[in-house]
Structure 1
Amino acid sequence: MNIAISTAPAARARISSQWLVITVFLAPAVVLLAIFLLYPLLSSLRLSLVDWTGLGTHSRFVGLANWAHLAQDTVFWRSLWNNVILALASIVIELPISLALAVLLEKAGRGSRILKILYFLPLLMSSVAIGVLFKNIYDPNFGPLNVALRAIGLDIFAQDWLGDTRFSLASTIAVICWQNVPFYMILFLAGLSSLPAELNEAARLDGASEWTIFWRIKLPHLQGAIRTAVLLAVLGSLRYFDLIYVMTGGGPEGSSELMATYMYRTVFSSFQLGYGSTIGSAMFIIVSLVAAIALRMTRRYETEV
């Protein structure tokens, strides 16, 4: 009895010291999250309730008027639809190409080192540099793309790729996919490298073809990487900004407008900080909902290898 009483204070002291260590190590991360995530989020929500140009100190409280305007804003809904198209293109185009390249490079073995470096180069380039590069490539008069088409007699296919509302979004999506494919390729390569070689050898000894090995062994093994890739592709597409802004600025006539570019123009070109904050807050809500739904759906279809 006396031993139990004497050890109780020691146990409490040990638990207190553990909580102190946990608090000390977590405090910097919590402070940084509060400064760079929580405060901007709350500030954006607060600004979405006011009418303010962002200049001076005079702002007018308008309540939910900005949100009511957002619900009827056709430009916002069009930009959201363009984000959805970009997300679908990222899944349908980027991920299959990345997976195919990863499987081919994994089979190539040591001889694929140079190819891996070459394929990874687009991801190392600045998005602004890529935007300027392809803006020149797409130039309707002197761009290499149209020059090549005219040189081989395909003048009918030469277009104003970024200045025509029919092609501007598709042209920018093609560049985005080209830039992002290496990232998902490396992600899938990492997943394939963790697959035990004994499984492949055992399947080959049993007479399984490469196609069967891919569908029955490699693809199920990559389900975690695929789930992560889908989530990153969707969330990245909903927040995309830089390359679109450099290449088209959201034009022409809003045909390539995204939520982020619309928010930027609203705040820094139209000087509507209150309404721009409303667009930013709406983006946060949409991205959070999509992330929650995507995580739930991908976990539902998860199977064990």
Structure 2
Amino acid sequence: MESKETKSKSKISRQKLRKTITISLFIAPAFIVYSLYVIYPILATLNYSFFDWDGVSDKVFIGLDNYITMFNDDIFWVSLKNNIWIVFASVFIQIPLGLVMALLLFAPIRGIRLFNGVYFIPFLMSTVAVGILWRLMYDPINGAINQGINLLGFENIAWLSEQNIAIFSVLMVIVWQFSPFYMILFKAGIVGISEEMYEAAEIDGANYFQKFMKITLPLLAPTIVTSSILAIVGSLKSFDLFYIMTGGGPNHGTEILGTYMYKQAFVNYNMGYGSAVAFIMFALALVVVVIIQSLDHYRKKKGDYL
């Protein structure tokens, strides 16, 4: 009897081992690529941040000096503040605007289907093209925007040359380009909501606003969480539009962590300091994602929709 039980346990253990090996072999290619292009660069960046290095000569270990210098650097804090502005614009303007645009696509308005493609055009455009286009539109003399406000009797505005205005001018472009992306996410979420729920609500006498608040918005909670994560992470690693439109100027008024890291690493050849800034960008994004995922897990565990 014992030998049969032993054989049975041995057979089960072999099956489990084969299953584990099979799963590991399927996962291995993706894990190798992920390790090579994601995990290794992160660890390498952390390693470089402990050195004084110009990218060519020998590295000199300086411990936490790069981080100490960074936390005492006024430009770093200006850059972080501007990234926070991008986060707020992305979460509180882009996402709600994307939701409104998605809802409009389902509105019983004649010809609204045409906007399904029109809304998405900004997101399809190259970021470089968008940056150049809006830089020309913001031109203080010949720009289309200033010519338009001249017709209304107002004076020209230096949209990208005034330190206090430039950051909001670029933020407007970011909202314009990336809101359609969230529109598509919300449209997919709304399509997945059963029509029977809306029909039942109509029978109970619910109006459009009540259906939105009690059915649409709660069932879009997973999409909202996903959109928030994408918006925040994307905001913290922004680079291209700011670099093309202002280069971080004027007087660091539009400097963000991405442009500041680039200048330190590839303009000033201060690879160690640039790596420290890059790793802080990664750490901030990681912390934010963990917090959002933890709150979402708590929400699901509690059984709430929102």
TM-score clears 0.5: yes
Q: Which amino acid aligns with 1:28?
A: P
- 1:145 match: 145
Q: CA offsets, 1:156-204, max 9 Å, x none? A: xx21101110111000000000111101111111111111101111111
Aligned to 2:154: 154
Match of 2:249 in 1: 251
Could you tell me how far 1:296 is from its partner in structure 2? 2.2
Structure 1 stretch displaced more, 102-111 or 38-47: 102-111
Which residue identity is paired with 2:263?
A: R
Deviation at 1:279, TM superposition (A): 0.6
**2:8 equivalent in structure 1:** 7
Report if aligned partners of 1:106, 1:192 keep a CA contact under 8 Å in 2. Answer: no
TM-score normalised to structure 2 length: 0.94
Q: 1:273 pairs with 264, 271, 274, which one?
A: 271
- How many angstroms does 1:109 deviate by? 8.1
SS in structure 1 at match of 2:106: helix
Match in the other structure for 2:165: 167
Q: What is the alpha-carbon distance in structure 1 between the residues aligned to residue 221 and residue 110 of structure 2?
A: 25
Which residue of the partner structure matches residue 117 of structure 2?
A: 117
| Residues 140 and 50 of structure 1, relative CA distance in 2, 3 Å threshold | same
Q: Which residue of 1 aligns with 2:26?
A: 25
- Secondary structure of the 1:246 match is helix
Distance 2:65 2:88 in 1: 32
User: TM-score w.r.t. structure 1 length?
Assistant: 0.94
Q: Is the 8 A contact 2:48 2:275 kept in 1?
A: yes
Match of 2:37 in 1: 36
CA distances 1:133-153 after superposition (whole Å, capped 9, x unpaired): 101110111111111111232
Name the structure 1 match of 2:201: 203
Amino acid at match of 1:148: G
Counterpart-to-counterpart distance in 2, 1:12 and 1:203: 53
- For 1:168 and 1:285, how far apart are their aligned partners in 2? 27
Equivalent position amino acid for 1:10 in 2 = K
Separation in 1, partners of 2:7, 2:59: 63
Contact kept in structure 1, 2:221 and 2:305, CA below 8 Å: no
Q: Deviations over 1:78-102 (max 9, x none)?
A: 1011101110111121111111111
Kindly, what percent of the aligned residue pairs are identical? 37
Amino acid of the structure 1 residue aligned with 2:285 = V
Instruction: Give the alignment's Cα RMSD to 1 decimal.
Output: 1.7
Displacement of 1:251 in angstroms is 0.7
1:1-305 pair list within 5 angstroms: 1=1, 2-55=3-56, 57-108=57-108, 111-155=111-155, 158-301=156-299, 303-304=304-305
Q: Give the conservation status (yes or no) of the 8 Å contact 2:128–2:241.
A: yes
Gaps of 5+ in 2: none
Counterpart residue identity of residue 69, structure 2: H
Q: Is the 8 A contact 2:225 2:296 kept in 1?
A: yes
Partner Cα separation in structure 1 for residue 159 and residue 198 of structure 2? 46
How far does residue 111 in structure 1 lie from its aligned partner after superposition?
4.7
Q: Secondary structure at the match of 1:4?
A: helix
**Residue-pair matches, total:** 302
Gaps of 5+ in 1: none
